[in-house]
C-alpha cells in the first residue's frame, strides 16, 4: 500500500452510485440466502413473512425482509447450540471469537465470529484508520482493557493490518498508560470520548503533564457519540493537540462507518461492506433523502457466523445533503449517530435528545467535562435536574457561567432545568461508556 494513497480501497470507496447499488443488491442476496439456508432462526422468520431469497430482485424488495431486533437475539440465545442459539450459521467448532455486547441496558447479547469474520473485522477497521491518516509509520497506543467486549480489539487488528506498530495498553492504569505514551512517543490512540477526556485530566492533575505536549497526532473515538458532538470534539482536540475522529460500530453489526480526514461533519457509511437503510420511526417508510431523521436498519454483507441482516439498531441518523470533499462516494450520515431511538424521549411534551445536553454543557467554558441528567416525575409534571461541575479557576465567574448555561439550554432544547453546581471531581467518573442520562419516570 502506497503511503500517499488517500483511500484504503480506491476502487470501492469511489465507485459510482449505480455500480455501488448493483454490488449492494448482489451482496444482500448472497447474505440473505446464506442466513435463510443456514440459520433456523432466520429461516422461520422469513417463512412466516412469506419471503425467500428468490423474491429479492431490486433494492426496494429488500424493504420487505423482516427486521431483527436485539430483544430477539436474547431469546435466540436460550436455544441450542449453547451459548449462541439457532441464528448460528456455522458448526460450533468453526467459531474462534466470543464477544458480548457492551450496551448500558439489558442482558448482553453473545456474538460468535469465525476466523474469516475476524479478518473481516480487521478489514472494516483498515478503512477507518486509513481514512483518518493512520499509516505504517504510526505507533498506535491502545488504552483499552482487552476484555469481553469487541471495541478496540478489532481496531488493534485493523491497525496491524495496515502496517502500524501497535502497543496494547491492556491492564496498565491510566497514569501508567500516559507515561507509556510519553516514553514510546506514540503517535495515535483509540478510546471512548469519556476516556480521552479522563486521560487528559489524569495527565494534568496526577502527573503534571500537558497532554498536548505528548506526541499523539490523532485519536479515533468509538463507543459514544462524543467525537461527532462538536463541543466535545473541540475539548478533546484542544486537550491533546491532536485531530479527533469519530467512528461508529457495534458488536452485532461490525465497524460500519468512519469520519475521514476532511472532517466534513459526518461519517461515511462503508457501503461496500454494509447496507444502511433509514426508517421513519412513525410510518416505517424507508427514507432515502437527506435531512429526515429515522432509525438505522443495517445489513453486514460478509459476516457469516451470526449474520446481521436488516438489524434494527435503534441508532437515530440522517443522510447528509452534501458530498464529502475527500472524494469518497460513500454516503455521509450528518453529525454521526444523533442518539438512540430508546433515549430520545418526550419531556414535558418536548422531544429531548441527551446528546444535545452534552453539546451545550461541553460548549460552556468554565464547566467541567462531567455532567448528569435526571428526569423524574413530580406529581403530573416532568422535572429535569442537570448536575454540572465548575473547573477550579471558574468559581469566581459563577453567575456568568450559569446565565450562559441556562440560555443555551433554553435555546437548544426548549426546556427548563433545575441546575445543581458542584466542584470539580464531585460527579461520577466513567472508565469506558458513561451513563449520564437517567430517566426515572418509568420506575415511579
Ligand atoms: Zn470524506
129 alpha carbon – ligand 1 mean position (Å)? 13
Task: Judge whether residue 444 has pLDDT over 70.
Answer: no
Across the range 276-292, mean pLDDT stands at 95
pLDDT at site 308: 98
- Report how far apart the first and last C-alpha atoms of the chain are (Å, whole number): 58
pLDDT over 80 (residue 278): yes
Question: Would you say the CATH fold of 345-439 matches that of 1-341?
Answer: no
- pLDDT at 349 (0 to 100): 83
- Range with the poorest average pLDDT among 24-33, 168-177, 426-435: 426-435
Q: Could you write out the DSSP letters of every residue in 153-166?
A: HHHHHHHHHTT-EE
Q: What is the pLDDT of residue 387?
A: 96
Å from CA of 299 to ligand 1 middle: 22
Count of CB atoms within 10 A of residue 414's CB?
Answer: 13
CATH superfamily placement of domain 345-439:
ANL, C-terminal domain (3.30.300.30)
- Residue ranges of domains in the chain: 1-341, 345-439
Tell me the DSSP string of 112-163: EEEHHHHHHHHHHHHHHHHHTT--TT-EEEE----SSS-HHHHHHHHHHHTT
How does the average pLDDT of the chain come out, rounded? 93
pLDDT of residue 206: 96
Q: Could you read off the pLDDT of 48-91 as tens digits, one per residue?
A: 999 999 999 999 999 999 999 988 988 898 899 999 999 999 99
Task: State residue 108's pLDDT score.
Answer: 87
**Spacing, Cα 228 to ligand 1 middle (Å):** 14
What pLDDT is stored for residue 354 in this prediction?
Answer: 85
- Give the burial string for 372-396 (b: 16+ CB within 10 Å, else e): bbbbbeeeeebbbebbbbbeeebee
Q: Cα of 222 to ligand 1 centre, how many Å?
A: 18
- The per-residue pLDDT for range 362-371, each reduced to its tens digit, is 999 999 999 9
Task: Starting at the earlier edge strand, list the strands of the sheet with 311-317.
Answer: 286-287, 274-279, 294-300, 311-317, 339-340
Distance 10 CA to ligand 1 centre (A): 13
pLDDT above 90 for 116: yes
Alpha carbons 42 and 36: distance in angstroms, whole number: 6
Q: Determine the Cα–Cα distance for residues 351 and 282; give it in Å rounded to an integer.
A: 14
Q: Region 129-156: what's the mean pLDDT?
A: 95
Instruction: Give me 359's grid cell.
Output: 453539546
pLDDT of 73 reads: 87
Backbone angles phi, psi at 320, to 5 degrees: -80, 155
Bridge partners of 367, per DSSP, are 390
Q: CA 118 to CA 222: how far, in whole Å?
A: 18
pLDDT in tens, 383-411: 999 999 999 888 889 999 999 999 999 99
Q: Look at residue 100 and tell me whether its pLDDT is greater than 60.
A: yes
Question: Ligand 1 centre from 6 Cα, in Å?
Answer: 10
**Whole-number pLDDT of residue 318:** 97
Distance 326 CA to ligand 1 centre (A): 4
d(CA 432, CA 150): 13
pLDDT, mean of residues 224-250:
94
**What is residue 443's predicted lDDT score, i.e. its pLDDT?**
59
**Long-range CB contacts (within 8 A, 24+) of 174-177:** 174/143, 174/198, 174/199, 174/202, 175/202, 175/206, 175/207, 177/141, 177/143
pLDDT at 104 over 70: no
Alpha carbon of 327 to ligand 1 centroid (Å) = 6
Q: Is the peptide bond before 92 cis (omega within 30 degrees of 0)?
A: no
What's the CA gap between 188 and 185, in Å, rounded?
9
SS3 state at 425: coil
Q: What is the pLDDT of residue 343?
A: 76
Q: What CATH number labels 1-341?
A: 3.40.50.12780
The CA 360 to ligand 1 mean position distance, Å, reads 26
Q: Check residue 223 and give its pLDDT.
A: 85
For residue 380, the CA-to-ligand 1 centroid distance in Å is 47
344 pLDDT more than 90: no
130-146 average pLDDT score: 96
Amino acid at each position: 500500500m502506497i503511503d500517499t494513497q488517500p483511500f484504503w480501497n480506491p476502487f470501492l470507496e469511489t465507485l459510482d452510485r449505480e455500480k455501488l447499488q448493483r454490488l449492494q443488491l448482489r451482496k444482500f442476496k448472497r447474505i440473505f440466502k446464506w442466513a435463510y439456508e443456514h440459520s433456523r432462526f432466520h429461516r422461520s422468520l422469513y417463512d412466516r413473512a412469506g419471503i425467500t431469497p428468490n423474491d429479492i430482485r431490486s433494492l426496494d424488495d429488500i424493504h420487505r425482509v423482516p427486521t431483527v431486533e436485539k430483544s430477539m437475539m436474547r431469546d435466540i440465545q436460550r436455544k441450542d447450540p449453547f451459548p449462541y442459539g439457532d441464528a448460528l450459521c456455522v458448526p460450533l467448532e468453526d467459531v474462534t471469537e466470543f464477544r458480548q455486547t457492551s450496551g448500558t441496558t439489558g442482558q448482553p447479547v453473545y456474538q460468535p465470529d469465525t476466523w474469516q469474520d475476524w479478518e473481516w473485522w480487521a478489514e472494516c477497521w483498515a478503512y477507518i484508520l486509513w481514512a483518518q491518516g493512520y499509516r505504517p509509520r504510526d505507533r498506535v497506543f491502545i488504552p483499552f482493557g482487552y476484555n469481553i467486549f469487541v471495541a478496540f480489539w478489532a481496531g488493534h487488528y485493523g491497525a496491524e493490518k495496515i502496517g502500524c506498530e501497535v502497543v496494547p495498553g491492556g491492564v496498565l492504569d491510566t497514569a501508567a498508560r500516559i507515561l507509556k505514551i510519553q516514553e514510546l512517543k506514540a503517535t495515535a490512540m483509540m478510546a471512548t470520548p469519556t476516556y480521552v477526556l479522563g486521560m487528559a485530566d489524569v495527565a494534568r492533575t496526577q502527573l503534571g503533564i500537558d497532554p498536548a505536549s505528548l506526541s499523539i497526532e490523532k485519536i479515533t473515538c468509538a463507543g459514544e457519540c462524543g467525537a461527532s458532538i462538536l463541543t466535545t470534539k473541540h475539548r478533546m482536540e484542544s486537550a491533546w493537540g491532536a485531530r479527533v475522529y469519530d467512528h461508529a460500530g457495534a458488536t452485532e453489526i461490525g465497524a460500519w462507518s468512519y469520519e475521514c480526514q476532511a472532517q466534513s461533519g459526518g461519517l461515511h457509511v462503508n457501503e461496500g461492506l454494509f447496507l444502511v437503510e433509514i426508517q421513519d420511526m412513525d410510518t416505517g417508510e424507508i427514507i432515502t433523502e437527506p435531512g429526515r431523521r429515522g432509525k438505522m436498519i443495517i445489513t453486514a454483507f460478509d459476516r457469516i457466523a451470526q449474520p446481521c441482516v436488516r438489524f434494527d439498531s435503534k441508532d437515530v441518523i440522517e443522510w447528509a445533503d452534501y458530498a464529502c470533499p475527500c472524494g469518497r462516494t460513500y454516503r455521509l450520515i450528518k453529525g454521526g449517530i444523533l442518539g438512540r431511538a430508546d433515549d430520545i424521549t418526550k419531556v414535558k411534551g418536548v422531544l429531548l435528545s441527551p446528546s444535545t445536553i452534552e453539546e451545550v454543557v461541553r460548549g460552556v467554558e468554565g464547566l467541567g467535562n462531567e455532567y448528569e441528567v435526571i428526569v423524574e416525575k413530580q406529581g403530573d409534571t416532568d422535572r429535569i435536574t442537570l448536575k454540572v461541575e465548575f473547573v477550579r479557576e471558574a468559581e469566581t465567574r459563577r453567575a456568568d457561567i450559569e446565565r450562559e448555561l441556562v440560555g443555551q439550554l433554553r435555546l437548544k432544547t426548549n426546556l427548563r432545568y433545575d441546575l445543581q453546581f458542584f466542584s470539580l471531581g464531585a460527579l461520577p467518573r466513567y472508565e469506558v461508556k458513561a451513563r449520564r442520562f437517567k430517566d426515572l419516570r418509568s420506575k415511579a
